[in-house]
Amino acid sequence: MQTKHLIQIDDVKKSEIEEIFALAEYYFQKNKKKVEQKHRLKPFTQINVFFENSTRTLASFELAGKKLGGIVQDIRIATSSIHKGETLIDTALTLNAMRPDLLVVRHSSSGAVNLLSEKVNCSVLNAGDGSHEHPTQALLDFLTIQHRKKEKEGLIIAICGDISHSRVARSNINLLCKFNNQVRLIGPSNLLPYSFKDMGLEIYNSMEDGVKDADVIMMLRLQKERMKGGFIPSRREYFNRFGLDNQKLSLAKDDAIVMHPGPMNRGVEIDGIIADDLNRSVIQEQVEIGVALRMAVLHLLVDRKN
């Protein structure tokens, strides 16, 4: 892999994505066997700096780094000096002085991770910046799709819900379109930026129309922490119109799969019955593949020449 940082999907070429997936596949199989990993990697230090709360993404990166034999340090900002008034740049300089090989950064502002990457010497991996991008989530989503669908092109993929505030949606759109898939966006018009129309994406305000014949349905949470003001009349009405239930799912292809990056709100964007239906829902697979995918990305960034 040539890129030093992974901030957004456009940082990686198609061939590099294939390289990440091949290595992720290797780690996925290896993680299933409870054998000791033999590390080919040189010793490395990884600092996970999370300015926003996270459960699965932080745990996934932490586990991935440790499984590769790295020294992994988590910094959760709730207990850090950011709350004592330190600027992002000063934080970056402080972390840089600790000479890590990798910084995994999550921040509530779009562009903050990129800014930080310009101030440090090591590789920086974006674990989600504002509503901009979350590249490893999109990569693990796409690998999960390939596991189930055995295809990477020509699929109809419906992304549903709060698209406006979703970094997961943005990274997925960029990735899935690179591989010539048909991406549909579904949501209430105030949560759906029409600018995506210019990218050739189909936009729907009706779930029934949007999920018709879809191969993959990706549900998103209402990201209230990024909303200024009220965007939906009530949770019940939102569920009736945009929540995925069996009736709406029956309009998709018979073998359509259902995805969700988590955290999921049952009874708001998804019916709990669907979330628990292992024939349809690949939500747990996303989490498992996520660890392997992050191991692959960390490995390739640590291993890069120069």
Task: Write out the residues near ligand NCD by the rule CB under 6 A.
Answer: 56-57, 128, 134, 137, 167-168, 221, 223, 261-262
Judge whether 50 and 86 are in contact, CB under 8 Å.
no
Instruction: Record the tokens describing residue 301, joined without a space.
Output: 């960034």
Q: Is 119 helix (H, G, I), strand (E, B) or coil?
A: coil
Closest separation in Å from C-beta 193 to ligand NCD:
16
The residue number whose beta carbon is nearest to ligand NCD equals 221
Query: Closer CB to ligand NCD, residue 5 or residue 170?
Result: 170
Specify the residue, 44 or 175, whose C-beta has the smaller distance to ligand NCD: 175
- Side-chain-side CA neighbours of 41 within 13 Å: the count stands at 24
**Residue 76, exposed/middle/buried by CB under 10 A (0-12, 13-18, 19+)?**
middle
Taking the C-alpha atoms of residue 262 and residue 109, their distance in angstroms, rounded to an integer, is 20
Nearest by Cα to 127 from 116, 119, 118: 116
> Both tokens of residue 85?
């008034």
Locate 168 and state its tokens. 């997961």
For ligand NCD, give the closer residue by CB, 133 or 271.
Answer: 133
Residue 216 CB, shortest distance to ligand NCD, in Å, is 17
Shortest distance, position 52 Cβ to ligand NCD, whole Å: 7
Residue number, 56 or 241, with CB nearest to ligand NCD: 56
The distance of closest approach from Cβ of residue 85 to ligand NCD in the complex, given in angstroms and rounded to an integer, is 26
Nearer to ligand NCD, 69 or 262 (CB): 262
| 3 state DSSP class of 132 | coil
Least Cβ distance, residue 57 to ligand NCD (angstroms): 4
Amino acid at 201: L
